[in-house]
Amino acid sequence: MSDCTKPLALITGGEGALAKIISEQLISSGFKVLSPCRSQMDVSDEGSVKNFFNENITSDLDLLINNAGTKKDSLFLNISEEEWDEVIRVNLRGAFLCSKLALKFLCKNRSGHIINIGSFSAISGPVGQTNYAASKAGLISLTQSLAQEGGKRNVRSNCILPGWLETQFTADVPENVKDHVLSAHALNSLNTPESVAAFVLFIHTQMPSVSGQIFQLDSRIHRWA
């Protein structure tokens, strides 16, 4: 398959371990992949996002993965406005800006998929992560509303909660906190970026009738209602 006929996938937050592994699996499955780091496309900046789309995104866009994320963990009373705004800008506003531009291509094609990378924190907000949890909870609602609007044009939207991953993103978390997280898993094991990437590929290529859903990929038990 030549590059001209390969579907295009855009993964934000390209410097992260999860983005790199998803990219590898998509490429091996016949996709063209763009996975810009923040210096190439700052998802929190509308001008940066527009410039990247104008210069790089073409009509063969098939998949957007809103993976870019940041955290500024602190107890609620200690969070500054700047720390609150930064997390919301990157995690939620960034997904909004990228999805808005991507959706124009996908709706025109009457095909495509937006996958938002969420977090278990969105459905079970932990101490010290009010800004992060709020931003990821917003992604769930964004996913569901996009599924309703995009469905009329055969565009899907789903949200994946990858679970705790041993990556650079969690490298600064104290060991006692990691132990506490592990103890909450019924299977007493953590997820891997490779298994998350495999699920991303599966839901995109093998589940064309699924949209508006939230997929939790670990063994923590949460009562939804």
**Whether 146 contacts 157, CB under 8 Å:** yes
Q: Which residues contact 140 (CB under 8 A, 6 or more apart)?
A: 116, 118, 122, 123, 159, 214
Q: What is the model's pLDDT at position 83?
A: 98
pLDDT of residue 182: 77
When pLDDT is cut at 50, 70 and 90, the band that residue 148 belongs to is very high
Distance of CA 139 to the CA centre of its chain: 9
Smallest CA-to-CA distance from 181 within 193, 163, 198 is with 163
Predicted pLDDT of residue 171? 62
Give per-residue pLDDT as tens, 13-40.
Answer: 999 999 999 999 999 999 999 999 999 9
Q: Which of 91-100, 167-176, 179-188 is most confident?
A: 91-100
User: Any idea which architecture 8-216 has in CATH?
Assistant: 3-Layer(aba) Sandwich (3.40)
Query: Is the per-residue pLDDT at 169 higher than 70?
Result: no
- Residue 220 pLDDT level (bands cut at 50, 70, 90): confident
Rg (CA), the chain: 17
Domains of the chain, residue spans: 8-216
Q: Looking at this protein, which amino acid is placed at residue 125?
A: G
Give the three-state DSSP class for 214: strand
The burial class, CB within 10 Å (0-12 / 13-18 / 19+), for 13 is buried
Residues forming beta bridges with residue 21, ordered by sequence position: none
Chain mean pLDDT for the chain? 92
Q: What is the pLDDT of residue 167?
A: 66
pLDDT for the residue numbered 181: 77
According to DSSP, residue 74 is labeled: -
pLDDT of residue 187: 80
Contact 210, 159 (CB under 8 A): no
For the annotated catalytic residues, the residue numbers are: 132
The one-letter amino acid code at 50 reads K
Report the pLDDT averaged over residues 113-138: 95
- At residue 95, the 3 state secondary structure works out as helix
Pseudo-torsion of CA 26, 196, 108, 15, nearest 10°? Answer: -70
The mean pLDDT of 179-197, rounded to a whole number, is 83
Q: Give the model's confidence band at 108: pLDDT under 50 very low, under 70 low, under 90 confident, else very high.
A: very high
The proportion of the chain whose per-residue pLDDT surpasses 90, expressed as a percent, equals 77
Query: What value does the mean pLDDT take over residues 179-207?
Result: 88
218 falls in which pLDDT band (50, 70, 90)? confident
